[in-house]
Structure 1
Amino acid sequence: MDAVTARAVLHYVLDGGCRIAAAGTAPLDPAGGELVLLPAATRHRISPLPVAGDAPAPDGHPAPPGRPAPTDLPGMPGPTSPLGPAVRILALDGPGPPARLLSLRTGYDRRTVRPLVSALPRAVLLDRRRVEGAPLLRDTLRLLAAPGRRAGPGDRLLALRVFEAALALAAAAPRPSEAGYPHPGIGRSVAAIETRYAEPWTVDTLAREAGMSRSSFTAAFREAVGTSPARHLTARRIREAARLLAETGLPQSAVPARVGYRSRVGFHLAFRTAYGTTPGEYRAASPRRDRRPLRRL
């Protein structure tokens, strides 16, 4: 992990239910089909759901005699520690039905999503309805949780895709006071940029997506995200372009259109401004690129 890479952790409940408590925030009790996002990889604890009669332990988590100890998960390994498996299945036994979770860890470029992450709580619960309503997120989770599936070199990429989709959903949640947005439309526009970056967006069409006038939208967006809508859109497109160059075999000539650029010259200028190098040089220097063709999920 380099200096601009941050970490995130996600837990998707496959069966049963559990309690997830991150430091400094109220516990969450996700059930089957629900996803918990810890966008800053805060240290957290997973434990069985409390049952009637359980006496709380000093830290607020029920832990009566005979109950399996909660699972403590460090969100941020030490500087010399590996990130750990990108994808794994956690099993949690308790007095009720056992719980199974798909646990994901990923790194991401803090420069491009810091405003979104900083505006969110330390732990965010996405309910089943919202997960099922996001096809990319839903299908990637199902792929990763498929019975008999083996870990592979693409796990880190898939975990990153889950994080980006979950982050967009969390940003668009209709909770502007909690998410830090002055207007719920800002969350919708941020989600559109995060997930639909290849569309021919302009400030005017983003403002319409938000249900706001152009001037009000531009001012509210800058206040909430810390940059202009155009700059944020460019950053998202270039971040995706860098991923495609480093981690897929998509022909370099096809990358600009894939991320929403009609002009190759404009794409090259934007990429060089962001990364200080050309797209070709960036691909050549990427240590973990995968030359296999890109497959859509």
Structure 2
Amino acid sequence: MQSHDTLSELLKPMRLSSVFYSRWTVRGPWNVQGDDDECAVMHYSLRNGCYVTIDGRPPVPVPEGTLAVFPYGTAHTLGDGTDCPATPLQELLPHRRAGTATSVRIGDEGPATELICASLRYGVAGEPPLYRALPSVIVLNQTLLSQEPLLLSTLQSLAPETERAGPGTQLVTLRAFEMVFVLALRVALESLSDDSSALQALHHPGISRALAAIYGEFQEPWTLNSLARTSGMSRSAFAKTFRKLIGEGPAQHLTRRRIREAERLLTDTSTPLNEIPELIGYQSTVGFHLAFRKSVGEPPGSYRQRRRAAVSS
């Protein structure tokens, strides 16, 4: 593993908490429309194939043995490529409770398409700033999947595992889908073309080192000069390239990473409010409160109260 394992640092704050998965058997003309969701979504084609369509884009084929991943749950249509009316997913699966599984059957005539679909829930407060710059959909065909034997074997083991019901099944499937998610992103970063700024940034030797530092050591007193040294680039070249690929300067990106960590601590832990500034790299409590309010729109204490109220309601 490289010392600047940017993918690990990118995903480390995102704690996968639960998965809802379903086994689909569909025949005849079919289309299913899913709305935006605050989770990662994946579809694995076991038999025959299907198409995924994001509004305004051409349909993307998902042949047999292909995995489609929507890292942040972008709304999309899943179907057979025909123009038949789409059924809202909410009508087919009105109760998608985390930690459960079900099966879906559509139609009774024609060749069967079989799929495993999953919604992977993670703490959105831990979502790193660069995450939503990843492609909205990543499609990995059999050739790409075979480049990562562990990913392929895990996918192949999911089919029988999703049909079992026994001790530990819920935990096993959660960890299996979590592994599929991480390995799929790794294959994407290694194999896909640099169609997005995020992939370009993660492939760039210098910028990826700086990102690994920002994500993994955000509590350190980073400056533009020290991040440039970490990247192995001159100060001016680093600042220019970083802004071009990330869309903002290193200081702003570091602030967003620190505020994301503060959101996670306020949401998921009972860490005292006065300890959080130092934990995320702020020398001044006042500076932290000002930065948090500017980014989130409310003070840290109010944010914690609101999040706790939302969880208990």
TM-score interval, smaller chain: 0.5 to 0.7
Partner residue in 2 for 1:22: 53
Q: Secondary structure at the match of 2:75?
A: coil
Q: Percent identity?
A: 26
Partner residue in 2 for 1:41: 74
Query: By how many angstroms is 1:269 displaced?
Result: 3.4
Paired AA for residue 260 in structure 2: R
Paired AA for residue 41 in structure 1: T
Q: Secondary structure at the match of 1:263?
A: coil
What is the correspondence of 1:1-297 to structure 2 with a 5 Å cutoff?
7-12=37-42, 16=46, 19=50, 21-23=52-54, 24-25=57-58, 26-29=60-63, 31=65, 36-39=69-72, 41-45=74-78, 58=82, 85=97, 89=101, 91=103, 99-104=115-120, 108=124, 113=129, 117=132, 119-125=133-139, 147-148=169-170, 175=192, 177-180=194-197, 184-185=203-204, 188=208, 192=212, 195-196=215-216, 198=218, 200=220, 201-207=222-228, 210=231, 212-258=233-279, 260-261=280-281, 263-265=283-285, 266-286=287-307, 287-288=309-310
Q: Secondary structure at the match of 1:27?
A: strand
Query: By how many angstroms is 1:13 displaced?
Result: 6.2
Query: By how many angstroms is 1:212 displaced?
Result: 3.5
Distance 1:35 1:190 in 2: 29
Q: What are structure 1's unaligned runs of at least 5 residues?
A: 1-5, 48-56, 60-68, 134-144, 150-154, 291-297
Query: By how many angstroms is 1:245 displaced?
Result: 0.8
Partner residue in 2 for 1:64: none
| CA RMSD, Structure 1 to Structure 2 (Å) | 5.2
Contact residue 45 and residue 115 of structure 2 kept, 8 A: yes
Contact residue 171 and residue 191 of structure 1 kept, 8 A: no
Q: Which has the higher helix share?
A: 2
Query: By how many angstroms is 1:45 displaced?
Result: 0.6
Provide, for residues 181-201 of structure 1, a one-character-per-residue CA deviation record: whole Å limited to 9, x for no partner: 666327725853685253524
Shift in CA distance, 120/245, structure 1 to aligned 2, threshold 3 Å: closer
Contact residue 69 and residue 139 of structure 2 kept, 8 A: yes
Query: By how many angstroms is 1:230 displaced?
Result: 1.2
Query: By how many angstroms is 1:39 displaced?
Result: 3.2
Length-normalised TM-score, structure 1: 0.54
Contact residue 99 and residue 170 of structure 2 kept, 8 A: no
Partner residue in 2 for 1:140: none
Distance 2:187 2:288 in 1: 29
Q: Which of 1 and 2 has higher RCO (CA within 8 Å, sep 6+)?
A: 2
Distance 2:96 2:193 in 1: 34
Report how many residues are paired: 237
Distance 2:214 2:50 in 1: 29
* Structure number with larger C-alpha Rg: 2
